[in-house]
Structure 1
């Protein structure tokens, strides 16, 4: 692609297309593991186009692409960030994403906002499991992709090995466009495999000349594979026959077919970069090979009743349809919403309709409101450059959207619309916290509500049973970032505490008991005697109350009082303070007094009767058991199954899912999987995922029951 002249990106009339039209926009997400060099590549591209003075330039204490205070302190990207630049009349929105599995929510938001993806792979570290999973996600939706092998000037770099790894893991269609020229550990430039030209970067400026001797064999090997791959993707069926017959194929024809194959997502060119090398080639792949928003399929759109809406396209003059892909809070300017405009035009100070899908279990409620937006800006690190409008296909930062949250749709007030939301991963790591002081407690609720608005992968739970505040997070790194933001951004100090798993109690056998509540206090006394029989029910049986009173020994109006007292005592538990379940209580006898009996007297008698029953038969502590579905690569199935067994789990079975993966189904006590999100990631090298759902309660083993009863 870079083999073309720089004028190849201009329109047919010989001038660059208007920068405010969708045809002149490229939205590109950078994907890769932490340390692969995504942020460095962004900065190199910004510097190569003159957007910034030089890579790594520090502004306000941080680089232009890492703007979050956590990123500055921890020296790692934990947020989605957009860096816009212009090359040959094309506006490119580079979407830098985190390289940690904990922040896969931002990764998927970046995929939603983009029309193509650059997979960034380090020449010294290879491909991790998360990158492989995201490649497969892109394959499922046909997203155009290219691979950038970075750090080819690193002392441990091995371009050929990194290329072979990418071809093995990513599959067919992955082929290099260039080969690095390395002399004494220093990268001097690149050899274009189609043009067979040497692009020399040794002097700092890119110059073109013939490659030196000694590269013929290497060029011939890779060039032949590249040409064959391009011809296989060509729409010209005669091209392969001509090539096999020995007819030379014009380079211009090959480049045109290559660009078409990349644009439709069936061919994946590989470009390599190092310090000051390869940026021009990456920019040419983006501008000439990647599609504009016009070619990207529109997400499903409905009206607010859920009826599909047809005919909405990427047209600046069409109905407004935009989506909030990221929400952040700035201590000085307030909430900033990063918005991808899919249709229509967004202008400052206009009123829009905000439609939210709602994730009630995570603290996000459905909303359906009109809001007036503030200024529009072009984000670059902490800089916010004013924009007069945001057209279809572009990404803009919007100020003062107080109600809109990540995943919400912005549309015309007169024609409210809703976009189908992207898949959001479930947070599966519970972390219990509490405020360190009364002052922190007063500020905690508001701070957490802001974090929830920013991060749809966070779920907030106020557990009424355990009286604990629980953050459901994606992993340990996600937890650290959230607590860091609470402290540094909102001034709220919290501490982690041991997570309590809600247990239950039940009776271990049948018995009869009496509740006697007889007191004289000078005036009206209390008089209530009830005889009950208790027996356990099967798991999930709940509670049954049976009335077998004969002859009115307990007046009819007081029978519900006994049941009420029994239920109240069951809620409080009779041994360790946990609610009691799966019990049948039969009231079969009792006594009453014409003056001193009352509703409250019989409620207390019912409670006393249940307590006495607990002293006559063993009581059991029950623990919640979840059903787990664990998806892992085949090579990790053995270790996962062994680990589940060590957690007192029962493996129910396995089944293959696709190629090279297995789904393991098991039943595991909740007490054993509070940190399973972390442990599975370690066992599977970051590639394993799981879902969990409550199944039933089962008796705790005696040794654990004794321990839990003592701490209950």
Structure 2
């Protein structure tokens, strides 16, 4: 592939609802630009961007992939992203690397949740965008309806650039609003055609909207517009580019991916109207001088880049996908990782065509490429020179809240699983592995059940290790509510030295749930010698690890040793430790023991229409709704406190309740006494499990 300068580069991300036609549009782009000789199809599993085994098996995109396209002397770095919400992290990474977006809307289904989420992402990153309506060859696809719905949602920014021509219910051509010309498809050719009568009124309306936008770009244009002057095509296009780049206009166009209709025009429009990296601003921090460094994709400045995605594939190896933020990167350059403080020679430079690496001699500012086998490099790391170490902001990705416990089916695979998951978490920032040592479980956090299901499937197919997912154990704790006063005498005689330890102890609530126990002694007259106090403390230490009620950790207990006795020959540290353990069991059970459950602070963001359903569901889950705060865009944030045990499966339930529009986040806040029915059920379940397999915990 040729080397392209900054002004000849366009970085475009494809966004939209799952199944709207992003991958088939990428396929049409690749075919038209000559990368492929025939178009692949998602159902056949032979598309360029869905190269992963899981993607081919499941027939949808799971990870973002780059397809660089050469078009009319320009390079378009096309990033195809997944539309399903479980893989939102991939879309967020891709958006951070892009300079513009195409939001794909299925002409048959119209606006879906994914369309709105894509729009919100573009707003967050201030990305110029096109709306492309796909499936126009389908009978009941309606471009007009999509335009109407988008205008109702997002106002008068919507500007149709093309209008469909239909004959006998078939999509046969389009009217170009800018040039006011009609075009038809004849086989693979596009020929000029008359503008149908039914299009003329609509064309005039759309044209007026565009001319108003053009006039608003400057006072001179405004005067000419009101003076009745007409603008030239070149003036219109230059003004529209300004409007599109500052997001005051969002062009709408349409086509058929499978028939490659409307795609040629879209490629031309990307080159004409979308910004090159030199039109976008970007700043980092020089860590040596602590000054702001305005990179602004300037090729004449010091080299710097950021890793926006990592690919770790057992078959093709590890690639760090980079975006060059300033300067020109060349083969064998020395690059300094500002985050890990490691300098290394980068070797060869690549551009990845989905999973196919192609060598290039250099990458200019604004271009997207890949580096192979960088040591310890992770997504979000900044690369620069040691002389000018520039650090850039990290990619912001969603936090995973769906959690499952995982166990290896074969105990000998523990290390292999750990290594495989480490590679996968480097690649996927929305996947987290948490070792919950207190409850002796390892937890896998993801964006949803499907996300975790695919992780398990990939572990089996790519890394040849089998794991099973299970409901996570809830981190219950045990404590006491009243006081008790007990004594225990530990005595063993077996010939020779015996064992003797005798303690009298009081147990009461300490009111400090942060600490397991507080130990003090009030022994008078040396009835228990001082050298046995540490043994009593050790006995308490062991006892609180697994409480006498349901073998959960103990918190908030105050233990006072106030009396006892000893034997000058038979007493030992071990004997006093054993006496304390037994005294603790007895004293704990006599002091009104209770089970504490972890409570989370939950925030659920939903459109107004769903608040009643969501609040009703939270009540069923023993949640306490604390209040609601209105948000922009007709949404509410419901704040509640809820037991963590009730959050299992909440992601799926919330999505089905709100049609995928609801989002939530939570964090642990404190422990509370569990209701008696929950306590009884948990104690019974725990006792049965301990009896069945004491090694489980």
TM-score band by shorter chain is over 0.9
Residue 354 of structure 1 pairs with residue 337 of structure 2: yes
Assess if the C-alpha contact under 8 Å between 2:127 and 2:247 holds in 1: yes
1:323–1:311 distance in 2 versus 1, CA, 3 Å? closer
Q: Report the equivalent of 1:455.
A: 428
Q: Report the equivalent of 2:689.
A: none
Residue 423 of structure 1 pairs with residue 406 of structure 2: no
SS at match of 2:198: coil
Instruction: Give the structure-1-normalised TM-score.
Output: 0.91
Assess if the C-alpha contact under 8 Å between 1:374 and 1:400 holds in 2: no
Residue 115 of structure 1 pairs with residue 89 of structure 2: no
SS at match of 1:172: helix
Assess if the C-alpha contact under 8 Å between 2:132 and 2:255 holds in 1: yes
Assess if the C-alpha contact under 8 Å between 2:45 and 2:57 holds in 1: no
Assess if the C-alpha contact under 8 Å between 2:284 and 2:390 holds in 1: no
After TM superposition, give the deviation of residue 264 of structure 1 in Å. 1.9
1:375-434 per-position Cα deviation (integer Å, ceiling 9, x unaligned): 322222332222112221111122122421222222224443321102121110111111
Q: Report the equivalent of 1:678.
A: 652
Q: Report the equivalent of 1:390.
A: 363
Assess if the C-alpha contact under 8 Å between 1:515 and 1:610 holds in 2: no
Deviates more, 1:585-594 or 1:413-422: 413-422
1:60-118 per-position Cα deviation (integer Å, ceiling 9, x unaligned): 97311212111111111111101111222111000111101111111111111111111
After TM superposition, give the deviation of residue 346 of structure 1 in Å. 2.5
Please give the alpha-carbon distance, in whole angstroms, between the structure 1 residues aligned to 2:468 and 2:606. Answer: 33
Q: Report the equivalent of 2:112.
A: 128
1:158–1:214 distance in 2 versus 1, CA, 3 Å? closer
Q: Report the equivalent of 2:484.
A: 511
**Which residue, 546, 553, 559 being the options, matches 1:572?**
546
Please give the alpha-carbon distance, in whole angstroms, between the structure 2 residues aligned to 1:299 and 1:171. Answer: 31
Assess if the C-alpha contact under 8 Å between 1:553 and 1:591 holds in 2: yes
Please give the alpha-carbon distance, in whole angstroms, between the structure 2 residues aligned to 1:638 and 1:537. Answer: 41
1:447–1:140 distance in 2 versus 1, CA, 3 Å? closer
Q: Report the equivalent of 1:470.
A: 443
After TM superposition, give the deviation of residue 643 of structure 1 in Å. 1.1
**Which residue, 299, 307, 329 being the options, matches 1:316?**
299
1:235–1:455 distance in 2 versus 1, CA, 3 Å? same
1:155–1:439 distance in 2 versus 1, CA, 3 Å? farther
1:210–1:615 distance in 2 versus 1, CA, 3 Å? closer
Please give the alpha-carbon distance, in whole angstroms, between the structure 2 residues aligned to 1:647 and 1:304. Answer: 52
- What runs of 5+ residues in structure 1 fail to find an aligned partner? 1-17, 357-366
Q: Report the equivalent of 1:435.
A: 408
Please give the alpha-carbon distance, in whole angstroms, between the structure 2 residues aligned to 1:679 and 1:484. Answer: 23
Q: Report the equivalent of 1:177.
A: 161
Assess if the C-alpha contact under 8 Å between 1:175 and 1:270 holds in 2: yes
Residue 552 of structure 1 pairs with residue 534 of structure 2: no
Q: Report the equivalent of 1:63.
A: 47
**Which residue, 211, 214, 239 being the options, matches 1:257?**
239
Please give the alpha-carbon distance, in whole angstroms, between the structure 2 residues aligned to 1:371 and 1:451. Answer: 24
After TM superposition, give the deviation of residue 547 of structure 1 in Å. 2.1
Please give the alpha-carbon distance, in whole angstroms, between the structure 2 residues aligned to 1:154 and 1:308. Answer: 56
Please give the alpha-carbon distance, in whole angstroms, between the structure 1 residues aligned to 2:435 and 2:138. Answer: 49
After TM superposition, give the deviation of residue 245 of structure 1 in Å. 5.6
Please give the alpha-carbon distance, in whole angstroms, between the structure 1 residues aligned to 2:423 and 2:644. Answer: 29
Please give the alpha-carbon distance, in whole angstroms, between the structure 2 residues aligned to 1:433 and 1:314. Answer: 44
Deviates more, 1:61-70 or 1:76-85: 61-70
Assess if the C-alpha contact under 8 Å between 1:353 and 1:370 holds in 2: yes
Please give the alpha-carbon distance, in whole angstroms, between the structure 2 residues aligned to 1:700 and 1:665. Answer: 21
1:635-666 per-position Cα deviation (integer Å, ceiling 9, x unaligned): 12111111111100101111112231111111
1:518-555 per-position Cα deviation (integer Å, ceiling 9, x unaligned): 22333333222111111224473633223222222222
Please give the alpha-carbon distance, in whole angstroms, between the structure 1 residues aligned to 2:671 and 2:600. Answer: 9
Residue 665 of structure 1 pairs with residue 648 of structure 2: no
- What runs of 5+ residues in structure 2 fail to find an aligned partner? 687-697
Residue 581 of structure 1 pairs with residue 563 of structure 2: no
Q: How many residues get paired?
A: 682
Residue 83 of structure 1 pairs with residue 56 of structure 2: no
Q: Report the equivalent of 1:15.
A: none
Please give the alpha-carbon distance, in whole angstroms, between the structure 1 residues aligned to 2:123 and 2:358. Answer: 35
SS at match of 1:572: coil
1:372–1:199 distance in 2 versus 1, CA, 3 Å? same
1:241–1:64 distance in 2 versus 1, CA, 3 Å? same
SS at match of 1:440: helix
Please give the alpha-carbon distance, in whole angstroms, between the structure 1 residues aligned to 2:286 and 2:546. Answer: 48
Q: Report the equivalent of 2:278.
A: 294
Please give the alpha-carbon distance, in whole angstroms, between the structure 2 residues aligned to 1:230 and 1:676. Answer: 48
1:214–1:126 distance in 2 versus 1, CA, 3 Å? closer
Instruction: Give the structure-2-normalised TM-score.
Output: 0.93
Assess if the C-alpha contact under 8 Å between 2:18 and 2:114 holds in 1: no
Assess if the C-alpha contact under 8 Å between 1:302 and 1:419 holds in 2: no
